[in-house]
Structure 1
Amino acid sequence: MRHDLTKMMKMIYDDVGFEDITTNALIPPGLHVKGQIIAKETGLVAGVELAVDIFAEFKVETKILKHDGEEIQPGQIIMEIAGDPRNILSLERTVLNLMMRMIGIATLTAKMVEMAKNVNPNVIVAGTRKTTPGLQFFEKNAIRSGGGDTHRYRLDDCILIKDNHLALVGDVAEAVSRAKKYASFTKKIEIEVETLEETLQAAKAGADIIMLDNMTPKEVINVLSVLENEKIRDNIIMEVSGGINLDNIVQFAKTGVDVISTGYITHSAKSLDLSLELQDMH
């Protein structure tokens, strides 16, 4: 968290520039104010710990009333704050924007997790790398707050062989073989496939995770059935991805796949509205 918080501080200072000219023109130094961050919509909390860390950097005191992963309703107080109003006003928009974004992701993730697990209790709903550059750490943690799996945070988390890798290597088995020779035993090897033939090649080559990309639920069921019949299903994590959203996640969960990964929970999440209200200035 510390490395990413340092980057976040730089973004805040870049936003302020030499000074918050409006706040400094209107608010004299040396004052103390109390305030609250209030939910304006129903959702699932995320980003509270990040907000606490940001406020702490500017000596603003905080009291958490709703923790990450807890439900909120309109009008409920998520956090109480107290400190120099100049600092609070300079941070207000950045903190709210981050929390609103993270709460939106957590809320959508929780909805999709619930839908999938209602028909397949063991399925994992995961994010993808379709995140906002510079904010991926926070967006991934919002997925976790919503009950989802973060998948890869970065490219060094695991090997994931995708279609363009295969286009250059030219062969599924060769790609997996090269990955096995290069990777540490601590890193899983995942490969993205688009056909039953590629799936069988990947399974026989020893891939740890096979991602079925852009297949229909019917095609996924067929692939899983063939792997079962070939008796090569047991030690492989089967993942499905590509175009998965609120309209079709239940159908994919019903296939019996192990993991459903979707960029929808980040690239299509709607930010939930929050407000920061100040009072008791003295």
Structure 2
Amino acid sequence: MNPITLTTVAEPLIRQALAEDITNEDVSTAAIMPDARPAAVDLIAKADGVLCGLDVFERTFAILDPETRVQRFAADGDSVCAGQTLATVTGDVRVLLSGERVALNYLQRMSGIATYTHCVATLLEGSTTQLVDTRKTTPNMRVFEKEAVRCGGGRNHRYNLSDGVLLKDNHIAAAGGVREAIEAARAHAPFVREIEVECETFAQVEEAIAAGADIIMLDNMDHDAMAKAVAFIDGRAKTECSGNIDAHNVQAIADLGIDFVSSGALTHSAPILDVSMKHLRMLDGNADSEAGVAGNNAPVTDIHRESGQ
């Protein structure tokens, strides 16, 4: 993940996730380990897939203790296999135990989306159509899930409602028609914004072309209707296909010459990739030499401190 995005957008969300999981203290860890002791634990893949989210995984532990170290044996975007050791995390054992679930939740979710996106993108190989995501993301997870789509070989559609103009069926109904909606958007939106309009019928496609739409989304049309629309548009606007597209049917549109296919399934239907932290071992010697945690006897509850302190 871009380091600036990780710090400004992702880190506050990671802190919220940690605060959700540790409201007062990690009772289990505090009971068995009241003081800092160095330890190490391995990150293991339990299924084949595409890895994504190691930066987020590492930052989760760094928020709890910036002295935590993650030695990586794989990188985001790598294809990994079951049983493969992906990383080793070393630090205060309390941090390893308290941060484990949140860190794994991010890594499993992001890797699952990257894996599924890679699967769908592979089915479009050899065509000119590019795979993009949608705004159908888990609340407060969009920055992570869209990063995972990119990691898996897809591209991002607009990030949010401020990022681009997309006139959907209800916008068109509110404006009074396709032409009216496009004209209103053209008059209001900054000149750098392209205007995309959702069309469900050939008549709407004709109206969108006449009104000067930049991108035409062919929504829930059958194959023949899309072929007719693409032939009519004939390069006068970019084309996008949308509507219940997933790994089962994406190849059916690969021959149409559509520029983009958007799929909400990339983020709302991808299963997680199973990864686990295993083989925790206490390290000999003092924390100063083994993990840099000597003298850090504060309980692992202060997740609001700056990670650089």
C-alpha separation in 2, matches of 1:78 and 1:153: 30
| 2:112 matches 1:104 | yes
| Correspondence list, 1:110-189, <5 A | 110-118=118-126, 120=127, 122-189=128-195
| Correspondence list, 1:75-90, <5 A | 75-90=83-98
| 2:75 matches 1:74 | no
| Correspondence list, 1:56-67, <5 A | 56-58=62-64, 59=66, 60-67=68-75
Deviation at 1:101, TM superposition (A): 0.8
Q: Which residue of 2 aligns with 1:249?
A: 250
C-alpha separation in 1, matches of 2:177 and 2:98: 54
| 2:54 matches 1:48 | yes
Q: Deviations over 1:163-213 (max 9, x none)?
A: 111111111011111111111122221111101111121122121111100
Structure 2, unmatched stretches of 5+, are 285-309
Counterpart selection for 1:222 from 201, 225, 228 = 228
Higher relative contact order (CA 8 A, sep 6+): 2
Counterpart selection for 1:14 from 20, 23, 26 = 20
Deviation at 1:247, TM superposition (A): 1.6
| 2:282 matches 1:280 | yes
Q: Which residue of 1 aligns with 2:290?
A: none
Deviation at 1:51, TM superposition (A): 1.2
User: TM-score normalised to the size of structure 1?
Assistant: 0.94
Contact 1:239/1:261 (<8 A) preserved:
yes
C-alpha separation in 2, matches of 1:225 and 1:189: 20
Count residues in correspondence: 275
Structure 1 runs of 4+ with >3 Å offset = none
Contact 2:17/2:102 (<8 A) preserved:
no
User: TM-score normalised to the size of structure 2?
Assistant: 0.86
C-alpha separation in 1, matches of 2:99 and 2:255: 45
